[in-house]
A = this chain, B = another copy of it.
Amino acid sequence: MPYLKRNAPCPEPLDCRILTAALDLFVENGYHNVSVHEVQKRAQVSIGSIYNHFGGKEGIAHALYEHLLNELDELIDGVVTTVASPSAQCREIIRQLFEHTETHRNIIAFLFHAKHTEFLREETLICDARPFVRIRSIVADAMEKGEFKKTDPWVATSAMFGGAIRMIQLRLDGLLDKPLPEYFEAVIEAAWSGVAENSDHQLETNSGVAAQRATG
């Protein structure tokens, strides 16, 4: 299964087949337009197995959602531990999201493009999920440290990430011809101007970023 990272191999190959098939179908057709039978067919698994493993269609969606949120959380972990300054962390998170949009399209589409509340009613809103809370705290950190100018945290986070998320959606919708990384510098520059403490101060490309880019 093409998860965000490869360091956590799928525990059960059968679960894995089911989840990958479901992810692809959900993204292609939308959750409600996919039947359990289609998942079963594409995953080459019997319908009984699906109910044994996940308890039904919603169970699949739930497992998928949990899993991918975890992966996203680990991505942020990686950035936070390898990059020092909060503002550079923001930059690196966007860079990796852009990259993943090209390499693991459906994962990003499922996380950023789907309306999860329409099929996971009691699930916490994705904006309240852990990765997104952490991103907000990184932005708050950047404001405290004087890297971002002090303003409403919601406004700052939206200013820093709103443009990038918009670009991701446009790319997923097929409106951008070039791969996202080619827009990266321009997107960062615009976002940065909106949040930086003094507009002359350039966003430093943290050395940790360069190191990770070389090894990754």
Interface residues of A (CB under 8 A from B): 29-30, 32-33, 113-115, 117-119, 125, 127-128, 151-152, 154-156, 158-159, 161-167, 169-170, 173-176, 183, 186-187, 189-195, 199
Q: A30-B118, A194-B163 are in contact. Are A183 and B155 (CB under 8 A)?
A: yes
The secondary-structure label for the interface of chain A is helix
The count of identical subunits is 2
Bound state CA distance, A114 and B169, in angstroms? 13
Contact of A127 with B175 at beta-carbon distance under 8 Å, contacts A186-B152, A199-B199 already known: yes
Chain B neighbourhood of A113, CB < 8 A: 115
* B175, A32: Cβ atoms closer than 8 Å: no
Minimum CB–CB distance for A67 against chain B, Å: 21
Question: Which residue on B lies nearest to A198, using beta carbons?
Answer: B199
Indicate the member of A151, A159, A176 with the most B CB atoms within 10 Å. Answer: A159
